[in-house]
Amino acid sequence: DTSQRRVADAAAVCQVTTFDLLTRVAGMDEVDLLVTLRSLVDRGLLVEIAADRFQFRHALVRDAVAANLLGRERRLLLERALAAMRDLMPDEVAARAQLAAAAGRHDDVVRLARDGVGTYLGRGSSFVALRLADLALREAPEDAVLLGAATRAAWLVGLDHEAIGYAERWARAAEAGDPGDLVDALSWWLRLMHERDHPDLVATRT
């Protein structure tokens, strides 16, 4: 019915689907939302993965629901979700960046990533930091902060080849900028090449 479709549409565009977020994005009060969520859970469309946190049982169903949205519907839901997450979930930087990318707000993606990658690295969430940096680098491919974070994150998760690639890009981007960034980038490149046992390349670049 209309209420179920409204909640399903809202859940399909949100990267992090909580009860409070759904009330804002779907534009429903708590009582109506509870009734609708119960029906969607009973039908097997959604599952409650933790207290007040929901997701589609199958990712393909979520994608199908999102694909059936009109362009204007999708944009409206994305804008509501971004505003709600900014107020309710300010620390969910990676999810907010994903929504901003989907909404075409590319400057926000870069800003969120620059602000958030260091926090994720500090928490030990290296893979999340790498995904966030990579997402923003699609919009700002020569951003030294993002390239440096991507280098560190890729190394921490054991993706040495990717880390070397990021370090090389970081060094090229830093050549026209802050000499300190260039030193950091080259130092990381040398470290990575040393760990992969390339003494000749290390000696030449040094």
What angle do the packed helices 30-42 and 2-13 form, to 10 degrees?
A: 90
Encode pLDDT of 48-58 as tens digits.
Answer: 999 999 999 99
Q: How confident is the model at residue 94 (pLDDT cuts 50, 70, 90)?
A: very high
**pLDDT at residue number 99:** 92
Distance of CA 14 to the CA centre of its chain: 12
pLDDT reading at 166 higher than 90:
yes
**pLDDT at residue number 196:** 79
Rounded to whole angstroms, how far apart are CA atoms 166 and 85? 30
Positive/negative CA dihedral, 190, 191, 195, 196: negative
Percent of the chain whose pLDDT exceeds 70:
100
Encode pLDDT of 24-37 as tens digits.
Answer: 999 999 999 999 99
